[in-house]
Amino acid sequence: MSEKIKITIDGIECEAEAGEYVLNIARANDIFIPAICYLTNCSPTLACRLCLVEADGKQVYACNAKAKDGMSIVTVTENIIKERRAIMEVYDVNHPLECGVCDQSGECELQNYTLEMKVDEQHYAIRDTYRPVKKWNYIHYDSSLCIVCERCVTVCKDMIGDAALKTVPRGGDKLDKSWKDTMPKDAYAMWNKLQKSIIGATTGEELDCTWCGECISVCPVGALVSEDYHYTTNSWELTKIPATCAHCSAACHLYYETKHTSIENPEPKIYRVTNEFHYQPLCGAGRFGFDFENRAEKDPKAFEAAIEAFKRADTIKFSSYITNEEALILQKLKEKYGYKLVNEDALRFKKFLDSYAEYSGQSLPSADVKAVHKSNFVISVGTALKSDNPRVRFAFNNAIKMNKGGGIYFHPIKDPVIEALGKTLVPVYHKPGAEEAVLYFILENFADHEALPKYIREYLDSLRETRTKEVEETIKEKVKETVKEKVVDEETGEEKVVTKEVEKEVPKKITKTVEYTISKLYDMVDASEDLLEKLKKVLDKRERSTLILGEDLYTHPRAENIAKLAGLIDRFTDFEVLLIPPKTNSLGVALICDLDEEAGEYTIGYNVKGDFTLSALGDGDLDMPALNQQEGTFTNIDKRVVPTNVALPYKGYVLNDIARALGVSDKEYTIEFTKELPQEKGYKAIEFDDLPNEFLNDGTEQRGYVLETHKVNLSRKNVEPIAELPEFNGTVIYRCEPVLQFSPFTNKAHQLATTAKLYASETFMQEMGLAEGDKVNIKKDDTNITVEVELDDKIGSGAYVGTFDPSVDTSALFAGYRFTEVTIQKV
Ligand code: SF4
Ligand code: SF4
Ligand code: FES
C-alpha cells in the first residue's frame, strides 16, 4: 500500500499517494494547471513545459514532479506567467492561419491556451520550412499544424504498445543565438526542440501499426485527423452522444458524434467517434467501425409474420450482440412460452464461469482491466490478445511500460506485436491443446503448495523428475610453479637468484554433471527450462499479478477442468483472474438467460440465421435496430453494467414490440427493463436514466455500476489430471478475427468493410506453397469454403479465418475449439 500524504496547491490541501505526480493530484482536486504534452497513465515527456509550477519555492514541471508530504505548490507566479505566455507565442510562430477550416477548430488546445495565456502580440519569428502532409491509411497527418507535443508518440508507445511513431528531423532553420539571452528560458528550450522535429513513422515512410487511431484522439491540434473525417464538418456542429462501444466485451466508453447528413438530407449521421483518452483508450474497430446502423421503416406485414413465427417456434437462437434488456426479454419469452434459448458462445462462457466459481469461491472473476494496468506481472493464456480484446492488450503493454513489469504470453500462434511490447514479456508458443498443462504450470510455479488440496499437490509432485545437466564451473586448482627469487647470501652478503617451487591456486573451468528437479510441465507447454530465470528481475519485484484467460479455453475440449484450475489459481496464488468474455455481451447473456444446449425444430434467429430471422444487419425477415440505435446496457469484461445510447434513430420494430404483442411486456420502452435485471445475479434495481456514463477528473470510472460478486460454496469435486488429447496433425488453422474486425457489424462499417480471407503468416504460406491472392478451398468433413489468401505479417506462424463476413460461413469448420484440422487446396 502506498503511503498517504498531504500537499497544498495554491493553498488548497490535497490528499494524495506519495510519489504521485503533482499534475495528477491537481486534476483530481479540480485545480487547473496548464499542460499540453502530458497524458494520464503515460510517461511525462516535458515537451511543452507549460505545466511549470513552483514547489517549495523551486520551479518544477507538475507533470513529472513527484509529490512529497507537506509540499507546497504555487501554480502562478510572475515568472511562470511570462514563461507560459512566451511558450504559447512560440507555438503560434508559423502555425498556419487556417482555423476557419481546420478539423480541430473549436476544440483545439492551441487555440484555447493561446487565449488562456492572453497572447495578443507576437514577439518571435523565424523563416518557415516546408512541412509535408502524410496519408497513412485511416490517418491524415499535416505536419505544418503539428506542435510536436509528442502525445501521439507517447500514447502509441506507453499505452497502445505499437511504438509506431517517433520524432524525425524537420530540417527547420536554427534559432538565432540571441533569442537565448532575450527570451524566457523554458520557451527558448521548447522552441529549439520544436524547430528540429516533426512526426514520422518508425518504419520509414509508411506507417505500420494496428490502426487504433488513438494518436488521432490525443492530438491537441488538427495535425492528426481521421482521413474519413477530414474536412467533412466543423467540430462544434457535432452532437456528442456518450455511449458504449458495441464491438467487443471491453465495451469501452466512447462518444458518437452526429450531425445532419447534408443540406438536402436532415437524417443524422455519425461523423466520427471520440474517446476520453486520458482515462480509457479505444481500438480502431470502435473508432472507425461506427456506421453499422440498420436504416429500416416499420413493415407491419413482416411484423405479423414474425409473431406467427414466434407462435410456431420452439427455439430462439441469438448472438451476444444484444443488450442486457433484450436478453431479459428473451428470458421472459422462455419463461412464458418455454422456448429453448440457444447461444453457443454465452453458454460455453457460462459453463466456464460456473466451474471457475466453484473452485474460486466467488461468483465472478476477481480482476478487471484496471487490475492489469496496475499489475507488474501479467500472464495471458488462451487468447489472441491483439485481436480478441485490444484494450486488454493495451493494459498489458501499459503495465510493462509504466510499472516496469513483465509477463508471459502463452499461445500457439506467434505474435510479433505482442513480443514487441517489451523484453520482459516472454512468449511461450505451445502446441494447440496444451492449455490445460499451462494452467497446471502456473499452479506449479506460483501456488502456495502447502495450501493446495493434497491431491493436487501430489499430482504436481508426480510430474517432477530428476534430470541431469552439464554445467560449467570455475574451481580453484592447486598448481606447483617454479619461481626465481633473489636472496641475499647470509655468509657473503651477496645477492643471488635461486629457483624454488611454490604451490598456488589458479581458477580452472570444468564441466560437471549435476542433478536437478524440474516439472515435466515445462516440456508439455514448450517452455524453456530457464523461463522463470529470464524473468527473475521482474519476478523479484512482483507486487500485483493478473492472469488473463480467453476464449481458446472456453472452447477447449477440457474447458471444465481448465475452469476449475483457473479457480484454484485464483484461490491459491496471488494472481487475480480476468476472463475475457468472447463477444460484447456474452457475460450479460450468460447471467440473464437460462441457456439450452440444442435447438428444437423451428428456430427464430436473432442476429444469427434461423427459420425466421430478426436481424440488425438488415438481412433478415424482420429488421431490428443495431446497437448504435439502441438504449440499453451491456455487462462488460469489468463486470460493469454500462449504458449505451441512441446515436441514430431507428424507425422499425424492436424486440420489446414483439414481447408486447406476445403478452410478455407491458413496457413502452426497452430500457424500462433495466431496473428489472436479475438481482440474484448481481444486477441492481437502478433505472436506466440514473446510470452515469463518464469519468471523473481523478480517472474514476463512473459508468453504470459494477455487478455484486457473491460467495459460492466451494466444490468438493475433483480436478482432473491433464488429459491426453488427440494430436493435431496436418494443417491446423485458428478461428480468429483480423485486427479491426469483430463481427459482421464491424464489417458493415464503411471504413472497415472487406471480404473474409485465409490470413496466413509467411511461414505458413511457404510451407503450403501459397502466395498472396491465391484462392484456396478449406475443407473439413462436409464443409468446404473458398477464400483468398492474404499475408498477415503481424502473426509469426500459422493461419486463421474469421467469422466477420456473413457471406463466408466458417463456423462449421470449428466444432468448438478454436484450432481445427483442415485440408487446404489451391483452386
Ligand atoms: S501530431 Fe499532434 S499529437 Fe503528434 S506531436 Fe504533432 S501535435 Fe502532438
Ligand atoms: S493508429 Fe494507434 S498504433 Fe497506429 S500510430 Fe496511431 S496510436 Fe500508434
Ligand atoms: S505537461 Fe508537463 S511539460 Fe508538458
Residue nearest to atom 2 of ligand 2 (CA): 212
Q: pLDDT tens across 177-211, in order?
A: 999 999 999 999 999 999 999 999 999 999 999 99
Please tell me the distance between residue 397's alpha carbon and the centre of ligand 2 in angstroms.
Answer: 14
Q: Provide the edge-to-edge strand list for the sheet that holds 133-136.
A: 133-136, 139-142, 224-226
Ligand 2 pocket test target in 153, 209, 282, 417 with most atoms within 8 Å of CB: 209
Ligand 3 pocket test target in 36, 83, 278 with most atoms within 8 Å of CB: 36
Instruction: Pick the atom of ligand 3 nearest to 44's CA.
Output: 2
pLDDT at position 716 is: 74
pLDDT at position 727 is: 82
pLDDT value at 78 more than 90: yes
pLDDT value at 715 more than 90: no
Cα–Cα nearest to 54, from 29, 84, 27, 99:
84
Contacts of 180 (CB under 8 A, 6+ apart): 188
Q: How far is CA 586 from the centre of its chain?
A: 18
| Interstrand relation of 133-136 and 72-74 (parallel, antiparallel or unpaired) | unpaired
Indicate if ligand 1 lies below 6 Å from the C-beta of 155. no
pLDDT at position 704 is: 98
pLDDT value at 770 more than 90: yes
* Residue 487, amino acid: V
- Write phi, then psi, for 173 (nearest 5 degrees): -60, 150
Please tell me the distance between residue 64's alpha carbon and the centre of ligand 3 in angstroms.
Answer: 8
Position 740 confidence tier, pLDDT thresholds 50, 70, 90: very high
On average, the pLDDT of the chain sits at 96
Please tell me the distance between residue 39's alpha carbon and the centre of ligand 3 in angstroms.
Answer: 9
pLDDT at position 366 is: 97
Indicate if ligand 1 lies below 6 Å from the C-beta of 276. no
Please tell me the distance between residue 99's alpha carbon and the centre of ligand 1 in angstroms.
Answer: 16
Q: pLDDT tens across 647-660, in order?
A: 999 999 999 999 99
pLDDT value at 1 more than 70: no
pLDDT value at 399 more than 80: yes
Residue nearest to atom 2 of ligand 1 (CA): 219
Please tell me the distance between residue 342's alpha carbon and the centre of ligand 1 in angstroms.
Answer: 48
Q: pLDDT tens across 572-584, in order?
A: 999 999 999 999 9
Indicate if ligand 2 lies below 6 Å from the C-beta of 213. yes
Distance of alpha carbon 351 from alpha carbon 563, whole angstroms: 9
Indicate if ligand 1 lies below 6 Å from the C-beta of 48. no
Residue 526 contacts residue 428 (beta carbons within 8 Å): yes
Alpha carbon distances (Å) from 430 to 277, 427, 444: 35, 9, 17
The dihedral sign for the CA sequence 4, 401, 429, 539: negative
Instruction: Pick the atom of ligand 3 nearest to 64's CA.
Output: 2
Q: What is the DSSP string of 215-268?
A: HHHH-SSSSEEETTTTTS--GGGPEEEEEE--SSTT--EEEEEEEES-SS--SE
pLDDT at position 487 is: 85
Position 497 confidence tier, pLDDT thresholds 50, 70, 90: confident
Q: What is the DSSP string of 545-580?
A: EEEEE-HHHHTSTTHHHHHHHHHHHHHHSSEEEEE-
Residue nearest to atom 6 of ligand 1 (CA): 146
- Report helix, strand or coil for 297: coil
Q: pLDDT tens across 264-306, in order?
A: 999 999 999 999 999 999 999 999 999 999 999 999 999 999 9
Indicate if ligand 2 lies below 6 Å from the C-beta of 146. no
Indicate if ligand 2 lies below 6 Å from the C-beta of 325. no
Q: Quote the percentage of the chain above a pLDDT of 70.
A: 100
Indicate if ligand 2 lies below 6 Å from the C-beta of 224. no
Give, as one character, the DSSP assignment of residue 149: -
Distance of alpha carbon 535 from alpha carbon 424, whole angstroms: 7
Distance of alpha carbon 625 from alpha carbon 297, whole angstroms: 10
Distance of alpha carbon 775 from alpha carbon 330, whole angstroms: 41
Cα–Cα nearest to 656, from 685, 710, 593, 614:
614
* Residue 475, amino acid: I
Locate 695 and state its grid cell: 469519468
Q: Provide the edge-to-edge strand list for the sheet that holds 12-17.
A: 12-17, 4-9, 72-74, 52-55, 58-61
Task: Give the number of whichever ligand sits closest to the CA of residue 224.
Answer: 1
Please tell me the distance between residue 171's alpha carbon and the centre of ligand 1 in angstroms.
Answer: 17
Give, as one character, the DSSP assignment of residue 714: P
Residue nearest to atom 5 of ligand 2 (CA): 164
Tell me the β-bridge partners of 225: 140
Segment 431-437 shows an average pLDDT of 97
Locate 741 and state its grid cell: 474486425
